[in-house]
A and B are shown apart, each in its own frame.
Chain A
Amino acid sequence: MRNSLRFGTLGSRIYSFFILFIFGTIIILQLVAFQFTISTVQNTTIESNKTLLGQLTRQIESYIEDMEHLSLAVIEAEEVQTYLRGEAPAPLPVYTKLIQKQLGTYLKAREDIKNIYFSDMVGNILSADASVEINQYADVLNSQWFTSAVDNPSETILSGSYVQNLITEDYSWVTSISRGIVSLDTGTLLGVLLVDLKFDGIKELCQSMVTGRKGYNFIIDDQGVYVFHPTQQLVYSGVKDEPLDEILESIHSGEDNTYSDGEKYYFINDSETTGWHMVSVLYEDDIITDWQYVQISFAAIGLILFLVVGLVTNRITRSITSPVKKLQKIMKSVDEGEFHLVGEIHATDEIKELAHDYDIMVTRIRELMHENVKEQELKRKSDLKALQAQINPHFLYNTLDSIIWMAEMKQHREVVLMTSALSKLMRISISKGREIIPIKDEVAHVESYLTIEEMRYKGKYDSEILIDPELYEEMTLKITLQPLVENAIYHGIKESDHKGLIQIIGTREKDTIVLKVIDNGNGMTPEKVKMLNSPYTVYEDDQPWVNLRGMGVRNVHERIQLYFGEEYGLHCESLLGVGTTITVRIPVRGGVR
């Protein structure tokens, strides 16, 4: 757990890298998608706004064109012409009523016409609506609709929006169409026709065809004078400002009829028939109104995406790292000297292969170690064999000296005895190369040795051999007892000033044969005994006591252990000045059952 959180581990590295990477990727993706959504919505909105503006323009145009046709019909009406020529038959009010009735049908048919008037050349007004009172203060001759029509008698004059004051106390917003009334007979100008259109119609059109909460339309003429603006008061008093210069420039350049000041879009549509320019205003922040929704859904998508990818990454990371960790744990067992195999592992192919190769390697190491141990054993055995086969040359030439000396003394009987003992000793020593021999042979061997030594050290010690005869056929490692006896003589008895006794006792304890070599010589210090019994004592050649005492004994011990196992071998007990007992333990029947 602690390890896995450190940045050094494979898992945390993969994980943190992925998290960072995904984090960045998602942010970039989201921003791009967000921008894309915005611009798409923007373009769609702009396009639909343009379409809407086109519709608005067409509707206004067709509306105005309708009115133009109507005005043409009126100016050519016989009664109007007659009236204006001053040729109306008396009584005049009756004729006036007739005209008013005729024009009144237009008023009834068209709700959107406020009123129809015509004026003669001195400014006398006749209204189609008979119920209204003409404002006596109205200055007809200086009105724009009048002067323009007089100046261009053959053209239809379209005014912008204005307040009509021709009727007393009725200041209505109108757009008017005026046209000179030319006599059909003489071609002289008789008067001016004025058709007042309720401005509400155009206003409602402009106000209904808007996009967004704040969007609006306005209309300007060629000079940049407002025909209509929904918040004219704010515009005229300077609270609001429209970029008229830029819009006019855009109109006159005839290029892209779109202008944007960053906050608002202005779409401009020119109307040929009316000479007006319809401008549609779209607020940037009206384009996407459900910002909150777009925002939250984008952020939520980001969150979900991140969680999903995060979890998947976590899964993948763990599927990589957990087998590696398992592998690592098993490999660690090598530190403790154990070689465990990985066996089956649930992982990717690479890891599986790695585990398999590791298993092969561990198996190989195990084999090698086994071989190594065996080789070592073999080597030691052969070393020891070589050692045991050597007969102490001192002993040999001492014995031969003794024989020579006895021969010179013509002690034939002794010569024969010693020579035959030596011969027997050597024969058993060789034993045709066998390692294991019957105990009786071993006893014979040690007897021969004792015979020779007794003849050499006459009266120095006594010896007795007390072996259970049942053991005679049991097998033992050859040259087991002789080194012990030699040790007893040379290091025990020889230094002692009293007559020594060496006892060799053989008994059986269950499945163990116990052979004891007991002497009553000098004995050893407890340290030496401890040293001798310790299984871990390492004998080094430069330690003098090793040479003096124990080398042979030690060899016997090691050989027994090599052949019969660790539980067998030698054990030494000794008291300084009292004597030494060395016990040999070997298995019955050579350990073979």
Chain B
Amino acid sequence: MKNWFVLLLSFMAALILFFVLTIFYEQSTPQKLELDTPIPIVLKSRMVEPMEFWDVVHRGIYEAAKEYGIDVKISGPLYEKEIDQQIEIVEAILNEHPPLLVLSATDYVKLVSTVEKADKMGIPVITIDSGVDSDIPVSFIATDNIAAGEKAGLELLRLLENKENPKIAIVSHIKEAASAIDREAGVRKALAGENIVGTWYCDVEEDRAYEITKELIDTYDLDGIVALNEVSSLGVARAVDEYQVKDALVVVAFDNAIRELAFLESGVIKATVVQRPYNMGYMTVKIAVDYLKGEDVPDFLDTQSVLITQENMFQREYQELLYPFSNAE
């Protein structure tokens, strides 16, 4: 009996030793987030052109995922307008009980119930670029689109300062999208008191924007156009270039597609407001990791926007922003 007792004591002491050592080594090793499943990221569209906005977002996401040692799984509907399909995708993902969901909402309102469902299931949601009309998401990482719109509006105002009572039109991409709503609000805030003839929606189709612009040029004697995203900018610029009215009609655009930059160089587009998609993707993963580690995360993180003109488009610090390295993948 005595032997048994001593053996037990030794074994207990050994276990204590084991735990002491384990705890010590645990403390002397870096804290890492270990996830069994990849973090699902549902974006607005799977149609991603190389070097375009979402492609660069992807790169930021992958860079951060590599740095923080986690896996991510990016999905989304084929086109941005397929709202119901995005809802389906998100609900399918929710059924797999992921640790966290990153979402870029195709619709500011329609995705609310889906986000509420995630909340009920105890799955935290982080929204990126386009949020939803709800307080549920733990963090929202996006460009402050009101500020970006304001930047575009003020630049337009500066460019038109010699014109008297200039006529201005806004070409937006989609009526319900939060980014469109905010950018327009920002533009209108900057252009308060100016003659804004109206806002037109191209439904994220370049040709539609092109047609709208041609019609606008024909109908109104316009002095300025603000195009609120890449697709609308390209449509607007194409029309202005074709009509050869670049000296009479000031175009302030959004985003930095290669063709937009060519239009910027040739002066069709006078200025463009560029977001930082790389930072957006990177910061989204960083915040997701921070949140899963139990750290505080900001409710809203503005990844900023930059106003690019002919003068600064080849400056060193904006070069990679405008012309991302091509072979990231």
Which residues on A are within 8 Å of B, measured CB to CB?
A: 1, 4-5, 15, 19, 23, 26-27, 30-31, 34, 135, 137, 160, 162-163, 165, 168-169, 171-173, 199-200, 203, 213-214, 225-226, 230-234, 236-237, 239, 284-285, 291, 294-296, 298-300, 302-303, 306-307, 310-311, 314
Contacts and interface: CB of A to CB of B under 8 A. Distances in A.
A27 B29 CA distance: 17
Contacts of B266: 137
B258 A171 contact: yes
A296 B32 CA distance: 17
A306 B15 CA distance: 9
A294 B29 CA distance: 10
Given A236-B321, A295-B26, A169 B259 contact: yes
A173 B325 contact: yes
B22 A233 contact: no
B25 A27 contact: no
What does DSSP make chain A's interface, helix, strand, loop or mixed?
helix
Nearest to A232: B320
A231 B28 CA distance: 29
Given A137-B265, A239-B282, A299 B66 contact: no
Given A173-B323, A303-B17, A314 B282 contact: no
A200 B327 CA distance: 8
A165 B314 contact: yes
A203 B325 contact: yes
8 contacts: A162-B314, A163-B314, A165-B314, A173-B326, A214-B66, A234-B282, A236-B317, A291-B25
Given A163-B319, A169-B258, A169-B259, A307 B11 contact: yes
Given A23-B17, A236-B318, 10 more contacts: A5-B5, A137-B266, A162-B314, A171-B261, A230-B63, A231-B278, A236-B321, A237-B321, A307-B10, A311-B10
Contacts of A296: 22
B24 to A, nearest CB: 7
Contacts of A137: 265-267
Contact of B304 (A168, A237, A294): A237
B29 A295 contact: yes
B2 interface: yes
Contacts of A226: 316
Contacts of A173: 323, 325-326
Contacts of A30: 21
B1 interface: yes
Contacts of B320: 232-233, 236
A163 B267 CA distance: 19
Interface residues of B, number: 55
Given A168-B262, A233-B278, A27 B1 contact: no
A237 B14 contact: no
Nearest to A160: B316
A213 B60 CA distance: 16
A295 B25 contact: yes
B258 to A, nearest CB: 6
Nearest to B68: A214
Contact of A214 (B6, B22, B67): B67
Contacts of A171: 258, 261, 322-323
Contacts of A233: 60, 276, 278-279, 320-321, 324
A165 B5 contact: no
Contact of A314 (B10, B63, B321, B323): B10
B78 interface: no
B40 to A, nearest CB: 22
A231 B324 CA distance: 10
A106 B269 CA distance: 37
A293 B39 CA distance: 26
Interface string B4-19: 0111011101110110
B278 A303 contact: no
A137 B325 CA distance: 22
A162 B323 CA distance: 10
Given A5-B5, A237-B304, A299 B13 contact: no
Contacts of B265: 135, 137, 165
A240 to B, nearest CB: 9
Nearest to A313: B10
Interface in B1-59: 1-3, 5-7, 9-11, 13-15, 17-18, 20-22, 24-26, 28-30, 32
B69 interface: yes
A145 to B, nearest CB: 12
Which 10 pairs show the lowest CB-CB distances between chains A and B? A285-B30, A310-B10, A295-B25, A232-B320, A299-B21, A291-B29, A233-B278, A236-B317, A306-B14, A171-B323
